[in-house]
Structure 1
């Protein structure tokens, strides 16, 4: 754990059919989801996400952006103000 950042977020896994654009499954620690601007694709809402891509053994590859199918993001906490 980095003293300035807190613990790492859990790794989310997305099948190739659930994100754009890339080949193979995607594993990443999602830092941000742009819930305010859904994109209609294949009759569903997709969202831009940012985070850190990781290897199967947990090593960080680097920053990554992807467009992810909304129903695959339902377990992620939404940052909203009341």
Structure 2
């Protein structure tokens, strides 16, 4: 699946409680949502995503695969 409705290179910020696992906000340029295997946790739906983590100064940290709360993800298309 690919991300819809945002220009290429958009950096998304997820609060600590909206992704697993890490400390503090996560800034990531989303590339893919792995929608084929959603997870249930604490009554919520979560998806694994792939992208490039960015620092708060806009520098590339590196590739990242992380699980994000579905309700916080942008609109996606297949």
TM-score normalised by L of structure 1: 0.81
CA shift at 1:8, angstroms? 4.3
Q: Tell me the equivalent position of 2:76.
A: 77
Give 1:52's aligned residue: 52
Report how many residues are paired. 72
More strand by share: 2
Where relative contact order (Cα < 8 A, 6+ residues apart) is larger, the structure is 2
TM-score of the superposed pair, with normalisation by structure 2: 0.85
Structure 2 residue runs without a partner (length 5+): 1-6
Q: Is there any run of 5+ residues in structure 1 with no aligned partner, and where?
A: 1-6
RMSD: 1.3
